[in-house]
Structure 1
Amino acid sequence: MKPQALLLALLATAAPLYAMAADVTADDDKSAVDGVVVTARAHDTVGSTGSKLATALVDTPYTVSIITSDRIDQLGLQSLNQALRYTAGVTPETRGGVVTRYDQFKLRGFDVNATFLDGLSNLYPGWYADAQVDAATVDRIEILKGPASVLYGNSPPGGLINYVSKTPREVAGGEIEVRAGTNKLIEGSIDTTGPIAGDSRYTYRLVALARQGDGQAVTTKYQRYVVAPSFTWRPDDATTVTILGRYQHDPKAASYGGAPSQGSALSNPLGALSPDFYDGDPNFEAYNRTQATVGYLAEHRFNDVFAVHQNLRYSRVESNYESVYATGLAADNRTLLRGTAASRESVDGFVVDNQVSAHFDTGPLTHDVLVGLDYQHAMAKVQTGFGAAPTLDVFAPVHGQPIVNPLYDASAYRSDMRIKQEQTGLYLQDQIKLDKLVVLLGLRRDALKQDTTYLGASGSTARIDQDKTSGRVGVLYHFESGLAPYVSWSQSFEPQGAYGTRVFQPITGEQIEAGVKYESPDKKVFATVAAFEIKRQNVLSPDPVNTNESIQGGEVRSRGVEFEGRAKLTDRLALSGAATVLSIKNTKDMLATSDYVNYFNLNGLAPVGVAKKTASAFADYDFGGPLDGLRGGLGVRYVGPSYGNLANTFKAPAYTLVDLSLGYELEKMSLGMKGWKLNASATNLFDKRYVSSCYSDAWCWFGAERSVQVGLKRSW
């Protein structure tokens, strides 16, 4: 279906809903609005990711950040990368202005290689067929910082991201919106929910979206279509079952390429490259991905003590990827050397998390015990190819050159694999309260098996079988003043498959964290200050002798201090802020004493793409008075310089950006426009040219240019 046709279909679907909205009385409308406000406030202070239970953030002896759907909508955000711009501990958008392909960023200095959806992993054992969740379909995003393997198994030491889906509500309501913006953005969306036939035991929700526009790199485009239906059945007060479906198709996803450091992060004697520089070729560029998921969230409470929960999801992702990418800039400072990459991939995934929870007392101690057994299964088909491509003059690019797809080029490096992965985890957690003291204890045992079968001449299979026990301990104490100091220890576990002909041990991580949380009695102020040290061990590095292989044994240490807080200063003004100071470096080099020739020692050097300092602030203001109905938001974010290559010989410069949002309730102008709202937002307001990060001398990524959006929304 063409984008224009889908947009018209969305609008047509909404027509009967307008009629439903017109029948809602003033009192019903007020109840709906009040319900949303209460829910949003609860989402700011209560999260489930830190303990897999509904736990107040001030009771959690770890750092948890929450991004609500209100903030996502306010700034017109489309991806997790964009949503994390105002979160402490994050170096955002390390792959630049790419929005509709992957979410790539650093959390406490480490790459986050997978996200979670409703507490279930989206981890993919292949190459390019990673899932991406559109921001329009989530109710909130929860960020648990530091190792989280005790509850979630395979995850990096910097932390994890959990999307919480929009689910049905018992109060009827909804919204339909049309947006337009720079780079030919056009978007239509609908979100409607409520009881079915007036029976609150059966509720539904439907979220649908169509979006298209031009990518930042010249000649590139992106398209996305999303439909996410859900249905909740509450047969009684003790039982809830929510069925969730999601279909997402990305026929185009802009460009995944970058720019050479000379002309982007560094000066080039021949001139500077534009942020819309494109190292690929429009006749070859392709990224077509389809995602489909179905699952459920089920809960039954037997009594005041025991409850059972089961979250389950089946998913399928298919992708077709073709790209021309830079490999280096020639000595003439203008001739770009390039290669090709292509893949055909599909993955079927099944994941289930079974939990039994118990709430009880033993003398003066109150326990919230959680016992869980989760299982993940993935079967991936992966065809990849890497070959040669014609050079490109970066100052006078000629596109449309003849390029051979490496999947069908006998001279290219090709592989055809089948990957089967299974992981089982058994975990136990006890959250103990004694008056104002909170103690959180957790232990988990993971078992992972993976078979990688290489089709073709070799027909060989590489097998791994890895087990690991992870733990965590946290202690927090509440003072009458609202202060809650805490200290915690936690571990992470990252299974490692076969790379080339070698099989490796799991990468492990360990964190010590201490901090103070504060929540005012009226809950209008919440803040966290945390200091931490993370050590990631058994790290992999490229083999300097055989570049198709890796070697293992390094260690990376991350130390930092974070601040994050928000405050409702007056009935009209709210402020939020975040700041991070981070020091990360390689503390052990597996080759420091080796006999490899011309190998530089990584020990003492910093990983690429990690900013030492980041800071942000955002102010929301409801004008009132003669400007009643107008709401404005102003944000400033700073990201410090980061090293651009392994040798630490240059840095991507620091940058400071400004974001602005405005919203106006049109009913303040005319009672006949009740429920209508006009929204406008601008990110990178002053269109600053900047480089978000670099991976090497050959690969740097320009940050997102100015984006302006205007939207018209009808709510009921």
Structure 2
Amino acid sequence: MRFLMSRRAALSGIAALGSCVLIPASAQTTAPTQNAVTDTEASLPAVEVVGRRQSGSYHADEASGTKTDLPLRELPQSVRIMSRQTLDDLGATRIDDALDYVGGISRQNNFGGLWDNVAIRGLAGDINNGMPLLLNGFSGNRGFNAPRDTANVERIEFLKGPAASLYGTSEPGGTINVVTKKPLWKAAHSIEAYAGSDDFYRTALDTTGPLGERVAYRLNVAVEKRGSFRDHVDTQRAIIAPALTWKLTPSTRLDYSGEVLRHETPLDRGIVAIGNRLGDVPRSRFLGEPADGDIRIDNQTHQLALEHMFNAQWSSRVGLSYKEGSLKGYSTEAQPALQPDERTLRRQRRFRDYASDDVTLQAELIGRLQAGAVAHELLAGMETYRLDFDQRMLRANPTSAAPYAIDVFNPVYGQPQPVPLPNTDTSEEQKNLAFYLQDTMSLGEHWRLLGGVRFDRYDQSLLNNRTGARIEQSPTATSPRIGISYLPNPQWTLFANAGKSFRPNNGSSASASPFDPESGRAAEVGAKWENESKTLGATLALYEIRKKNVLTADPVNAGFSIAAGEVRSRGMDFDLTGQLSRNWRLNASLAYIDASVERDNLLEAGGRLLNIPRINGSVLAMYEDAFSDGTRYGIGGGFTYSAKRLGEARTQAQAAAGAPAFELPSYTVARLAAYWRISPALRLSLDVDNLFDKTYYTSSFQRTWVTVGNPRTVVLGLQAKF
């Protein structure tokens, strides 16, 4: 009932705003812009639009997440676009498969394999929500969300630096915007089948085309069964993603994008370290309990976007997003440390029943003005959302009498399982109302200036259903941003920007008072280069970021927190993407990150942040040509490198005692990719990941929750177009 009421209210709002937008439609003539669908575009032929791409581009010129038509080379911000071609060359079926190939991205705790999580420029997102993620410009990480599938993904935009001036609550290191596939006006269809190591099987369908002169559709479907090198761990998932485009008038368009995803897998916290050593416990060892079965995550998303052009200078957009999520199931999870014998691991049993409803409404007005020698692109917008987030957890903690333990060297499964008792039962409601402005100015031939600001009013209410206690807070935030670019010639750009961000802290202090929100500020300088044909580009950026009001341990009240911590990250990231020649395309990245704790009541001051390597980098290269019979082929590969990382937060007491830090070792992982286009309609592909079967560890939360990287995996695929 709550869902029906919230969705009905949101739909009423979009209908009212939409009617206002449409009033001038009959009296206006329009000229096409970047965001409008015209009859000319509708008649353009579609080439390599479904299935895996051939001879596509790694390099992009624009990003919808920036909310400006300014080309990326001229934008005073570091932005990295991962194209569909890159995803295809990586054989990426989840966005997690591609994240290592972008500069400044570091893997974080993935909640036992139940979500995607990275840090951008050394700063991770909310521990309860995962990485800062947008889906077509709407929040994509509120609530619980399964790892994202790539079946309906057109590209991934990495918006580095603060995004709060456009999107509100966020991390100052950057934000990821996932852009989904849109309907096309020429019929195209593909079906793909894959089989690989560890009983991996996947089938995918991509079909698109017109349903008439004014309506086009797209449908992406994928079904996957994935075994694992991990004992007793396998995954099943299915995704259905429909999309529609309706040209209501020559100047008005309505787009719908939907997604329904089910993901089922056991919660797998990984392996344990013996002291500070990794490798004593086999990488295949599962330390949960097979009898727990799967955790099931159900996600569904529905988005509507109504765009209207009043004339060549003014346009508007109204968007509505509804996102529903649920997570339910039992798990058995390791305690923070082994027993003194260094082989006995006590475990905790949990039952989770989480649910979330997230409704967002956006309205924007875009104008293009000329004031003397200065051209302005103006954006004025408002956003409001409501999130209902219910968490119910039952938990059984181990005791000396009932240790619920396992021998990590000789595990015996099937022992009697403790019955978990009520632990958490909360209902959280978040509401937000925001207004934002952005002005992108072209100051003659050589200068670009961008300024923006957003005002947020955030209302949060958390009800403890077990005690009846309610905590409320209503913080406000002003998030400005300014940036400037200098274009000395058509190939080079020098840029600088600075901005602020904020993120509300969840929970309450020992006195049942809400925490002040986190506040961040960041500055960036850099250079961009693009070749004359605009097929190859590079970005180099230097940055410094600081965050305050990070939650830290309360020195007076044990078990509680206060908002008094500070962290800092400074470094460099470099990205190079595009076509080196007619036959070669390249994707390369390199990052240096110095991220540390500046002030904390528990953690070591000056200590590194969890899972952040000082250096990481990647290379992906593909070569394409044709055989003498005219059939095409491609072969390539690449590698990713990560330096050693802190694997468990180091306390002041441990540092004072001289205890060595627990670190994850550095690693280099290579991959191979190849294809043979047997005919214009049939393609055979081969993907080999971790080519040399390296044992490596991607992230850690504590010594008993260490995530292991995949061993060598081989996937053979067949793609057919019809």
State the partner residue of 1:563: 574
Aligned position for 1:228:
241
Q: Does 386-395 or 415-424 show the bigger shift?
A: 386-395
Residue 324 of structure 1 aligns to which amino acid in structure 2? Answer: T
1:490 to 478, 499, 508: 499
Shift of 1:315: 1.7
Write the mapping of 1:595-674 to structure 2, written as runs, cut at 5 A: 602-626=604-628, 628-647=631-650, 649-667=661-679, 674=680
CA contact (8 A) 1:464 1:498 kept: no
Q: Give the Cα separation in 2 of the matches to 1:476 and 1:539.
A: 32
2:140 matches 1:122: yes
Please give the alpha-carbon distance, in whole angstroms, between the structure 2 residues aligned to 1:487 and 1:405: 57
Q: 1:453 to 1:653 in 2, by over 3 A?
A: same
CA deviation after TM superposition for structure 1 residue 35, in Å: 6.8
| Aligned residue number for residue 46 of structure 2 | 32
2:452 maps to a residue whose letter is: G
Q: Indicate the residue corresponding to 1:687 in structure 2.
A: 693
Contact 1:579 1:614 in 2 (8 A): yes
TM-score, reference length from structure 1: 0.88
Q: For residues 414 and 407 of structure 2, what CA distance do their matches in structure 1 show?
A: 13
State whether residues 462 and 470 of structure 2, in contact with CA within 8 Å, keep that contact through their aligned partners in structure 1: yes
Mean Cα deviation higher: 559-568 or 75-84:
75-84
SS of equivalent residue, structure 2 residue 243: strand
Q: Out of 683-692 and 547-556, give the one that drifted further.
A: 547-556
Q: Report the secondary structure of 1:81's partner residue.
A: helix
Q: 1:399 aligns with which of 402, 408, 413?
A: 413
Alpha-carbon distance in 2 for matches of 1:318, 1:277:
28
Contact 1:474–1:488 under 8 Å retained in 2:
yes
Q: Is the 8 A contact 2:58 2:578 kept in 1?
A: no
1:185-584 matched pairs, under 5 angstroms: 185-197=200-212, 199=213, 201-250=214-263, 252-262=264-274, 266-267=277-278, 272-327=280-335, 328-389=337-398, 390-406=404-420, 409=421, 414-435=423-444, 436-456=446-466, 458-480=467-489, 482-499=491-508, 501-543=512-554, 546=557, 548-584=559-595
- Per the alignment, in what secondary structure is the counterpart of residue 110 of structure 1? coil
1:450 aligned partner, one-letter code: Q
Q: CA deviation at 1:561?
A: 0.8
Q: Residue in 2 aligned with 1:81?
A: 96
Residue equivalent to 1:595:
none
Taking structure 1 as reference, are residues 320 and 241 closer, same or farther at Cα in structure 2, changes over 3 Å only? same
CA–CA distance in structure 2, aligned partners of residues 170 and 42 of structure 1: 24
Counterpart of 2:115, as a letter, is Y
CA contact (8 A) 2:241 2:258 kept: yes
Distance between the aligned counterparts of 2:419 and 2:378, measured in 1? 55
Matched to 2:253, the amino acid is T
- Alignment partner of 2:100: what SS? helix
CA change 1:104–1:35 in 2 (3 A) is closer
Q: 1:124-163 alignment to 2 at 5 Å? A: 124=142, 129-163=144-178
In structure 1, the residue matched to 2:64 is: 48
CA distance in structure 2 between the partners assigned to 1:120 and 1:366 by the alignment: 28
Q: Distance in 2 between matches of 1:305 and 1:39?
A: 36
C-alpha deviation, 1:708, in angstroms: 1.5
CA distance 1:567–1:78, shift in 2 (3 Å) = closer
Q: CA offset at residue 132 of structure 1?
A: 4.1
Change (3 A) 1:62 1:655: same
Taking the aligned partners of 2:137 and 2:188, their CA distance within structure 1 comes to 26
Per-residue CA distance 1:239-259 (angstroms, 9 max, x = gap): 111112211112x22433122
Tell me, in whole angstroms, the C-alpha distance in 1 between the residues paired with 2:363 and 2:394.
39
SS for the counterpart of 1:71 is helix
Residues 431-457 of structure 1: CA deviation (Å, up to 9, x unaligned): 00012211000011011101111113x
Letter in 1 for 2:613: A
Task: String of CA shifts for 1:41-64, please: whole Å, max 9, x gaps.
Answer: 497221111x21343211211111
**Residues 235/173 of structure 1: CA separation in 2 closer, same or farther (3 Å cut):** same
- Secondary structure at the residue paired with 1:72? helix
Which stretches in structure 2 are left out of the alignment for 5+ residues? Answer: 1-41, 399-403, 651-659
Q: Deviations over 1:664-694 (max 9, x none)?
A: 1011xxxxxx411011101111111011122
Q: State the alpha-carbon separation in 2 of the partners of residues 432 and 398 from structure 1.
A: 67
**C-alpha deviation, 1:300, in angstroms:** 0.5
Report what 1:92 is aligned to.
107
Corresponding residue SS for 1:55: coil
In the other structure, the counterpart of 1:22 is none
SS of residue matched to 1:503: coil
Q: CA deviation digits over 1:403-446, x for unaligned, max 9?
A: 2342xx2xxx6121111110111100000001221100001101
Q: CA RMSD in A?
A: 2.3
Q: Partner letter of residue 87 of structure 2?
A: I
The answer (yes or no) to whether the contact 1:320–1:343 under 8 Å persists in 2 is yes
Tell whether the 8 Å contact from 2:199 to 2:228 is kept in structure 1 after alignment. Answer: no
User: How far 1:139 sits from its partner (Å)?
Assistant: 0.7
% identical aligned pairs: 28
CA distance in 1, matches of 2:329, 2:558: 23
Q: What's the counterpart of residue 15 of structure 1?
A: none
**8 Å CA contact retained: 2:116, 2:146:** no
1:625 Cα deviation after fit: 4.0
Structure 1 residue 93, shift from structure 2 partner: 5.8
| Shift, 1:86, TM fit | 0.6
SS in 2 for 1:449: strand
Residues 78/404 of structure 1: CA separation in 2 closer, same or farther (3 Å cut)? farther
Tell me what 1:702 maps to: 708
* Aligned-pair CA distance for 1:38: 12
Structure 1 residue 40 displacement after superposition:
5.6
C-alpha contact 1:116 1:163 (8 A) present in aligned 2: yes
Amino acid across the alignment from 1:173: A
Question: Whole-Å Cα distance in 2 between the matches of residues 137 and 161 of structure 1?
Answer: 16
Distance of 1:576 and 1:72 partners within structure 2: 11
CA pair 43-480 structure 1, distance change in 2 beyond 3 A: closer
| Deviation at residue 317 of structure 1 after TM alignment | 1.0
Would the aligned equivalents of 2:57 and 2:83 in 1 still touch at CA under 8 Å? no
Contact persistence 1:192–1:205 (CA under 8 A): yes
Note the alpha carbon deviations across 1:489-548, whole angstroms, 9 max, x for none.
011110123246341000011001000001111112200000000001111123466554
> CA contact under 8 A between 2:260 and 2:301: conserved in structure 1?
yes
The aligned amino acid for 2:284 is D
Q: Give the Å deviation of 1:580.
A: 0.4
Q: Which letter maps to 2:268?
A: Y
CA distance in 1, matches of 2:95, 2:508: 29
Could you say which residue in structure 1 is the equivalent of 2:74? 59
2:464 partner letter:
Y
Instruction: Give the partner amino acid of 1:206.
Output: L
- Which shows bigger deviation, 490-499 or 634-643? 490-499
